[in-house]
């Protein structure tokens, strides 16, 4: 398939700092960028076909993204890997000056269907292509992306090698439903859990309503609560509470914030509330736990 991606885009305050490296394959275009972004830099991107962005450094504290044009309330931290379905717009905004490198994979929809359908069925493949994905913990995807960048930069093998790397990245990143979807086994997929973890880790207080969590993975609130308990052994609010206590531990160790300051930052009603919950989960008060960690 002779293919070249079509995308409307505009950037301000972003400049390329090294020659762009790219290769064109069967229904695929792989592009590796190295760039520098100024504080306040902005970008707008809209592609006719699905695409994947993989960052080789953590930009979550520096770049914000949104799929809605408007105020900053719509923005969220940019994760290290993003799958953007065809026709979904993206706006970005940089908080500070920084350098970054990322791999862009532009893929013709029919090419992806030919790759996925024999294994998962046409319906499941179409469902996966419509679902956006955002993950922060890349795992093996980062290794695959690095191998693909090496092959783009210095081609040494048959094109099937690079195409197979793209296929593995797609299979590892996309939220592909099992059989008839999540209801087949009553559990969330790993991609859905990754999406939830990424979304809640991007919040300052690790707090989302059950309705917001359900919407993030494309399920009804009632069904989500059921399969979430089957997947994690906890209710959504119990799981969130554990994430907030983990964040409280991090704040206790990394800074000089008082327990009252941490309670306010994480949305507890007061210091006593945080202390009570912390003791229930950890077995010690925050102050005692901090002292114990500092003496190790």
Residue 262 has pLDDT above 50, yes or no: yes
Q: What is the pLDDT of residues 33-45, one digit of tens each?
A: 999 999 999 999 9
Question: Distance (Å, rounded) from C-alpha 169 to C-alpha 275?
Answer: 43
DSSP for the chain, please give it: ------EEEEEEEEEE-S--EEEEETTEEEEEEEEEEEEEEEEEEEESS-EEEEESS--TTTEEEESS-SSGGG-EEPPSEEEE-TT--EEEEESS-EEEEEEEEEE-HHHHHHHHHHHH-HHHHHHHHHS-EEES--THHHHHHHHHHHHHHS--S-HHHHHHHHHHHHHHHS-PPPTTSGGGTTS--HHHHHHHHHHHHTSSS----HHHHHHHTT--HHHHHHHHHHHHSS-HHHHHHHHHHHHHHHHHHHS---HHHHHHHTT-SSHHHHHHHHHHHHSS-HHHHHHHHHT-
Long-range CB pairs of 149-155, under 8 A, 24+ apart, other chains included:
149/21, 149/32, 149/103, 151/23, 152/21, 152/22, 152/23, 152/30, 152/32, 153/21, 153/32, 155/23
Exposed / middle / buried, residue 264 (Cβ in 10 Å: 0-12, 13-18, 19+): middle
Rounded to an integer, the average pLDDT of 93-108 is 95
CA angle, 69 as apex, 68 and 75 as ends, to 5°?
60
Residues 6+ apart with CB under 8 A from 138: 54, 80, 81, 145
Lowest mean pLDDT among 67-81, 112-126, 236-250, 272-286: 67-81
User: How confident is the model at residue 182, as a pLDDT?
Assistant: 42
Mean pLDDT (the chain) is: 87
Q: What is the pLDDT of residues 121-175, one digit of tens each?
A: 788 888 889 888 998 888 899 999 999 999 999 999 999 999 999 999 999 999 8
Q: What is the pLDDT of residues 182-225, one digit of tens each?
A: 444 567 888 888 888 888 877 766 778 888 888 888 777 777 88
Residue 80 has pLDDT above 90, yes or no: yes
Strand partners, 102: 33, 55
Quote the pTM value: 0.64
pLDDT band at 12 (very low <50, low <70, confident <90, very high): very high
pLDDT band at 51 (very low <50, low <70, confident <90, very high): very high
Question: Distance (Å, rounded) from C-alpha 12 to C-alpha 43?
Answer: 6
Question: Distance (Å, rounded) from C-alpha 153 to C-alpha 39?
Answer: 29
Percent of the chain's residues with pLDDT above 70: 94
């Amino acid at each position: 398939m002779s293919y070249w991606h079509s995308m409307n885009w505009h950037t301000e305050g972003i400049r390329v700092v090294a020659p762009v490296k790219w290769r064109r394959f069967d229904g695929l275009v792989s592009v590796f960028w190295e760039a520098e972004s100024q504080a306040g830099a902005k970008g707008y991107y809209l592609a006719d076909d699905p695409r994947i962005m993989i960052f080789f450094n953590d930009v979550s504290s520096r770049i914000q993204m949104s799929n809605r044009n408007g105020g900053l309330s719509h923005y969220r931290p940019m994760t290290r890997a993003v799958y953007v379905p065809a026709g979904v717009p993206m706006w970005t905004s940089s908080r500070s000056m920084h350098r970054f490198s990322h791999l862009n994979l532009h893929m013709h929809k029919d090419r992806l269907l030919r790759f996925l359908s024999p294994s998962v069925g046409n319906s499941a493949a179409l469902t996966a292509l419509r679902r956006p994905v955002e993950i922060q913990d890349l795992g093996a995807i980062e290794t695959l992306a690095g191998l693909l960048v090496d092959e783009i930069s210095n081609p040494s093998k048959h094109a099937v090698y690079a195409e197979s790397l793209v296929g593995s990245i797609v299979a590892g990143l996309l939220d592909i439903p099992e059989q008839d979807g999540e209801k087949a086994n009553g559990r969330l997929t790993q991609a859905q859990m990754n999406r939830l973890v990424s979304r809640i880790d991007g919040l300052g207080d690790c707090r989302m309503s059950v309705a917001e969590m359900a919407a993030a993975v494309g399920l009804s609130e009632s069904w989500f609560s059921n399969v979430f308990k089957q997947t994690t052994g906890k209710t959504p609010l119990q799981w969130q509470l554990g994430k907030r206590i983990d964040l409280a531990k991090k704040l206790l160790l990394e800074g000089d914030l008082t327990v009252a300051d941490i309670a306010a930052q994480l949305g507890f009603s007061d210091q006593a509330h945080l202390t009570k919950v912390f003791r229930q989960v950890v077995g010690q008060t925050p102050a005692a736990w901090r002292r114990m960690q500092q003496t190790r």
